[in-house]
Amino acid sequence: EIVLTQSPGTLSLSPGERATLSCRASQSVGSNYLAWYQQKPGQAPRLAIYGASSRATGIPDRFSGSGSGTDFTLTINRLEPEDFAVYYCHQYGSSPRTFGQGTKVEVK
């Protein structure tokens, strides 16, 4: 199975700053089927990015995804208070689907 490794584990930033999250796959993700999910405490995950770079419905344009093959990035420009959460990458190009271990974006 494809192992996804996210870095850093925790990102401490202030509102208005830029967050850059990394997701590295142990092998190439087929068709760049890589998604990013946002999860807040006590809530279900929310889809933010799919297909490595497409924003899901309702996701503001300060969120952007990039990358291909084995290296992917989620960038959040000008962090808003509601963006502080845990973010998971998820590959759905190979069975079984797998998730990264998560990156927590916390208030500095």
Give residues in contact with another protein (CB under 8 A).
1, 33, 35, 37, 39, 43-47, 50-51, 54, 56, 86, 88, 90, 92, 95-102
Q: How far is the CB of 45 from another protein (least distance, A)?
A: 6
User: How far does the chain reach from its first CA to its final CA, in angstroms?
Assistant: 35
Q: How far is the CB of 14 from another protein (least distance, A)?
A: 25
Q: How far is the CB of 60 from another protein (least distance, A)?
A: 17
* Number of DSSP helices (H) and strands (E) in the chain, helices first: 0, 11
Distance CA 55, CA 69 (A): 19
Smaller CB separation from another protein, 19 or 103: 103
Distance CA 54, CA 61 (A): 10
Smaller CB separation from another protein, 16 or 58: 58
